[in-house]
Amino acid sequence: MRRVAALKRQRKSFDFTAKRRREIVLHAREIGAADTEDFGRWLIAWVWHNPKAKDQIWSLMEAAKNMGGKISEAEASAVTEEASIIRKCWSADNLARFLGVTYVQRLALRLTTIGSVNVDKQARKVLRRDRNLVAKERKRRELGARPRAQYEANSIAAQARAEGVSRMTIYRRRRAEQAKNHPNVTGAGRAIFLSSEDRPVTPDRVWKGCPSGAVAPKQARGYPSSQTATTMAADRYVISPAALKEYVGTHERLPFELRMVALGLAA
């Protein structure tokens, strides 16, 4: 139990602030914020989400390089002081309004911790649901699924309504047509779990001597039965008395040394 508890303590949890810092840098590089007069807004937002830095000035200067710009140590100190004064924007939509993130930019950069200025949270949820539905439908079409309208137009019920008859009439017609085109095929048999094969019974496999349609035995189909095959295999090793007498006589006529060698008793 102590080891399991220790492993749980060693697991790193999701760092929300680190992910948001990466997204702030991505948005700044995307729109070229370093070349604008409002570059300080992205730096301030980055400082808000970097509270555990040991050297905030150096960290901010490196972040400015990642955003495509460059600031001096004095400018980094001024931005850090300004960030401590301005009211922080923690929520996704408030930070999006502070940085001017649009919904198109959010989708292009795959931002998840920053909202958008033109589409609120509820609308983004609806749009995300619609995108998932479209993606699932496209996957079903690739797998061969037909649209619902096409499936219902070709269904038995639609055919019955068009002809003014019941569905059972359509089923009876199909069974009669199948019996007419394939009169010697009875269909699939019952479920037998000892064999994975299941195919229709045809006259080639039916024993004419049995009216119930059972399969003919091996002798009737020209194959030896298992008992006959066993007897034939055993007959191969039966030695006749004459052959046995000849073998014994031959063995006795051999010299004593050769008989000892044959028995494996020679030194």
Q: What angle do CA 61, 63, 66 make, to 5 degrees?
A: 115
Cβ neighbours for 90, distance < 8 A, ≥ 6 positions apart: 48
Three-class secondary structure assignment of 15-40: CHHHHHHHHHHHHHHHHCHHHCCCHH
CB atoms under 10 Å from CB of 160, counted, come to 16
Reported as a single tens digit per residue, the pLDDT across 226-264 is: 555 444 444 444 445 565 555 555 555 556 666 665 566
Comparing 73-77, 79-83, 108-112, 263-267, which segment has the lowest mean pLDDT?
Answer: 263-267
The pTM assigned to this predicted structure is 0.55
CA distances from 196 to 56, 188, 225, 245 (A): 70, 13, 24, 54
Two structure tokens written together for 93:
């939509």
Q: What is the largest CA-CA distance in the chain?
A: 122
Reported as a single tens digit per residue, the pLDDT across 121-139 is: 999 999 999 999 999 999 9
The answer to whether the CB of 20 falls within 8 A of the CB of 112 is: no
